[in-house]
Amino acid sequence: MKKLFLVLVLASNLLIAQRNVSIIPQPVSLQINQGAFVIDNSTAVKFNTADKELKLAVNFFSAAIRNISGKTLLLNDVAKNNIVFKIAKTNGIGDEGYTLNVSPSSITIVANTKAGVIYGIQSLLQTLPAIRTNEVLQVPCMSITDFPRFKYRGMHLDVSRHFFSPEFVKEYINLLASYKMNTFHWHLVDDQGWRIEIKKYPLLTSVGAWRVDQTDKVWASRPQAKTGEAATYGGYYTQEQIKDIIKYAAERNVTIIPEIEMPGHVASAIASYPALSCTQQQQLPLTGGNYSGMSSNYCAGNDSVFTFLENVLTEVIALFPSKYIHIGGDEVEKGPWKVCPKCQTRIKSSHLENEDGLQSYFIKRIEKFINSKNRKIIGWDEILEGGLAPEATVMSWRGEAGGIEAAKAHHDVIMTPGSPVYFDHYQAGPEGEPLAIGGMNTLKKVYDYEPIPKELNAAEAKYVLGAQANLWAEYITTAEQVEYMVLPRMLALAEVVWSPKENKNWENFNERLKNHFKAFGQRGLHYSLGNFTVSIKPSSQNGRLFVDLSTEILNAAIYYTTDGTEPTLSSNIYAIPIEINASLLLIASTILNGQIMGVKAARQNFVMHKAIGKNVTYTNPLSRYYQADGPNSLTDGVRGTAAVGKYWHGFNGDDLIAIIDMGEEKNIQNIAIGCLQNYNDWIFLPQSVKFETSNDGNVFTEIKTVNNPIDINTKSVMFDFKTDFPILSVRYIRVTAKNNLCPPDHNGAGKPAWIFADEIVVE
């Protein structure tokens, strides 16, 4: 293929052009020339009317021009100037690429397919006003050659946890299409709502799509429905509405992949048809995150479940032209299968090893059916457990490990790792942001994402079809909030999956983003201005503790204080890493153009004590998910904050047993350990903490056991367990924090909790 270069001509007489050409995702090659093409009443669109596909593209373009200007373009007429659309064999740009050439007398878009023409149109539209205007429509003269890096460029939307109207689904599709995303993953089925009309099983929507309305309460703390309460929250898409949405998407080159979850996450189907579960017991539709006593799996031992699913899938396949049908497969809680006689019989009769084997059996059986209809399955990475179905494509969401494993086994992969492409996570703050499920995926983190893991060689990398952002809706109750979570992060992802890696440039992206922000504002779309919260990163060098401050906001300064006051314009300006040599509270703000930005300043506590830098060993293993910044996080002087993912060491179900070696005998008179409780995340304060000391590391003497004084139902709290004693000369300290069980009314009632600890302070 001919090598293409990014050429950006920035001559001073091209100011208008500069302002208008802010295309996202960045094209492969773009050259801006002098002059402009004016779209007016004597502009005609020229195309081969015999080509039905091209006609669809022309209709799309003409409608867009009518929307912003009120003008109706002439079609194939004699005109002063022409906009020419052509499908013609063009080398080097593939199925979705295009060339776009603008001169004062003509605009020409050439592509191999309608998809390419549509993308040429999308680039062209990004140079024009975003809303209805009387402005002269001027397109800067330019020359673009463009094609995508990845063939799968996806955006997901969970319409089960909260329902979004057909009109909004179209708006969402339109938005993703305008940034050249080509796949809409429609999560139509989950525990809290069945959202697709299935003619053969009307209860799926008359029962399964409706629940008792508790939208006013946070997802995880919604009480379950009681018999007799009216189920008024919900909705579903009729097959006619779905056909209309599929057509709308196809006009924009967006393929819709429907997700019909199985075998877990189907409490909605079970509420409709209880015979589908292992217990076959009646249950009401879930209202939120409280699953206590509810079934949410299909019975894998019952053949009539497969008949049901084949009937459902037959209707789904008849509706959706997509090559792929997503069958879910994630987060199956296999406990119910362990105690179900039918499931256990299936394990024996089909010579399966265990319940993982049963999950694999389930998916393979469904795959066979879907393949028989000439379609392919996609599943979440759990479908690897117990053996991957032969033709399956894997969506890697629990990090990239599943994707790497699948690619090495020569299966296609779509990368959707929680970090950084779960757009239900915070993108800023989190203080001052709308409540989100947790996590933090900032715009820059998304922009910096590389979908090809370094673990894959060039041949294996070819199995990575692309990437997708997922938008789960437990905490997203309105269309406005969907917009806010997606904008502008989707634009960063669009550049990740479309633009050549070497064309990516964070500063330039931010420059181009300004025009898009303006357009969002004009179109009344909700969006995030970016993460103004200063990032505070401690690092130790040769036993000294330093702290780095940074902001993602271009051309911004950071002001900070260490005396506990809020930063002002007369506070210290951050220049180089700050050395921390006393206990203090650091507070920092981003300042842009003389204004303090963001809702709240970032703050971090540092504590100086005798165990700083000392070695900590654990008897029970630390969770691989919560390792903070390394093995000695409990003695680094950096205190855990309200953000769960930061600075805390997590233990899942086990007691925390930590031994600190002070290196030599030291005089000490108090020991404390900080712990976190976050009820909704199953993180509880330990039942008790025992403090012991030793001088040989073998025989320990107890100083004190401190019981937890805090109410176990407290939502969120940080608490220091501590003990004071007369001065002792001590070499080793052992701290044992006893893990708790989740309390009776909790979603995980009776199940092991997490302990989150940070900093063992020794003085």
- State the catalytic residues: 190, 265, 331
**Smallest separation (angstroms) from ligand ACM to the CB of 380:** 4
Residue 262 binds which entry of Zn ion, ligand ACM, none, CB below 5-8 Å type-dependent:
none
Report if residue 380 touches ligand ACM, rule: CB under 6 A: yes
Bond into 336 cis (ω within 30): no
- Residue from 331, 450, 665, 724 touching ligand ACM (CB under 6 A): that is 331
SS (H, E, C) 381-447: HHHHCCCCCCCCEEEECCCCHHHHHHHHCCCCEEECCHHHHECCCECCCCCCCCCCCCCECCHHHHH
158 vs 495, which CB is nearer to ligand ACM? 158
> Binding residue for Zn ion (CB under 5 A) from 137, 177, 276, 343?
343
Q: Which is nearer to ligand ACM, 328 or 637 (CB)?
A: 328
Nearer to Zn ion, 196 or 340 (CB): 340
User: In whole angstroms, how close is the CB of 346 to Zn ion at the nearest point?
Assistant: 8
Return the structure tokens found at 478.
């309105």
The CB-of-379 to ligand ACM minimum distance in angstroms stands at 10
Residue 331 token pair: 């987060």
Burial of residue 260 (CB within 10 Å: 0-12, 13-18, 19+) is buried
The yes or no reply on residue 352 touching Zn ion (CB under 5 A) is no
**From CA 587, how far away is CA 564, in angstroms rounded?**
7
Q: Rounded distance, CA 430 to CA 237, Å?
A: 34
Q: Least Å distance between CB 158 and ligand ACM? A: 9
Quote the least distance from Cβ 330 to ligand ACM, whole Å: 4
Cβ proximity of 545 and 538 under 8 Å? yes
Residue of 670, 675, 707, 666 lying closest to 690 (CA atoms) = 707
| Count of other CB atoms within 10 angstroms of residue 508 | 14
Select from 45, 125, 340, 737 the one that contacts Zn ion (CB under 5 A). 340
Q: Residue 330's binding partner, choosing from Zn ion, ligand ACM, none, with beta-carbon cut-off 5 to 8 A by kind?
A: ligand ACM
Measured from the CB atom, the residue of 124 and 384 that comes closer to ligand ACM is: 384
List the single partner that 301 binds among Zn ion, ligand ACM, none, CB under 5 to 8 Å by kind. Answer: Zn ion
Least Cβ distance, residue 157 to ligand ACM (angstroms)? 13
For residue 617, what are the β-bridge partners?
659
List the one residue out of 635, 684, 631 whose CA is nearest residue 655: 684
If the CB atoms of residues 327 and 340 are measured against Zn ion, the closer one turns out to be 340
Interaction of residue 330 with ligand ACM, rule CB under 6 A: yes
Site mask for Zn ion (CB under 5 A), range 267-296, x = bound:
-----------x------------------
> CB of 271: closest distance to Zn ion in angstroms?
17
Q: SS3 sequence, 653-719? A: CCCEEEEEEEEEEEEEEEEEEEEEEEHHHCECCCCEEEEEEECCCCCCEEEEEEECCCCCCCCEEEE
**Tokens of residue 188, six digits:** 């139509």
Nearest distance from residue 450's CB to ligand ACM, in Å?
A: 21
Decide if 290 contacts 176 (C-beta within 8 A).
Answer: no
Is there binding between residue 397 and ligand ACM (CB under 6 A)? Answer: yes
For the CB of residue 337, give the shortest distance to Zn ion in the complex, in Å: 6
Residue type, 557: A
CA atoms of 142 and 100, how far apart (whole Å): 8
Q: Furthest-apart CA pair in the chain: how many Å?
A: 99
Report which residue's Cβ sits closest to ligand ACM.
330
| Cis amide bond preceding 538, omega within 30 | no
**Rounded CA gap, 45 and 82, in Å?**
6
Exactly one of 141, 189, 299, 755 binds Zn ion (CB under 5 A); that residue is 299
For ligand ACM, give the closer residue by CB, 161 or 516: 161
Q: Are 29 and 98 in contact (CB under 8 A)?
A: no
**Residue 335 CA neighbour count, 13 Å, CB half:** 6
Give which of Zn ion, ligand ACM, none residue 763 binds (C-beta under 5 to 8 Å, depending on kind): none
Partner whose footprint covers residue 380, from Zn ion, ligand ACM, none (CB < 5 to 8 Å by kind) = ligand ACM
Q: Which is nearer to ligand ACM, 527 or 682 (CB)?
A: 682
Pick what 448 binds: Zn ion, ligand ACM, none; C-beta below 5 to 8 Å, kind-dependent: none
Residue 340 binding: pick among ligand ACM, Zn ion, none (C-beta 5-8 Å cut-off by kind): Zn ion
- Which residue, 117 or 220, is less far from ligand ACM as judged by CB? 220
Q: Residue 57 or residue 395: which is nearer to ligand ACM going by CB? A: 395
Q: Does 135 bind ligand ACM (CB under 6 A)?
A: no
What are the structure tokens assigned to 438, written together? Answer: 């947790």
What is the SS3 assignment for 259?
Answer: strand
Could you tell which of ligand ACM, Zn ion, none binds residue 353, using a CB distance below 5 to 8 A set by kind? none
Is 337 a binding residue for ligand ACM by CB under 6 A? The answer is no
- Identify what 745 binds: Zn ion, ligand ACM, none; CB under 5 to 8 Å per kind: none
* Residues binding ligand ACM (CB under 6 A): 330-331, 380, 397
For binding to Zn ion (CB under 5 A), which residues are involved?
Answer: 278, 299, 301, 340, 342-343
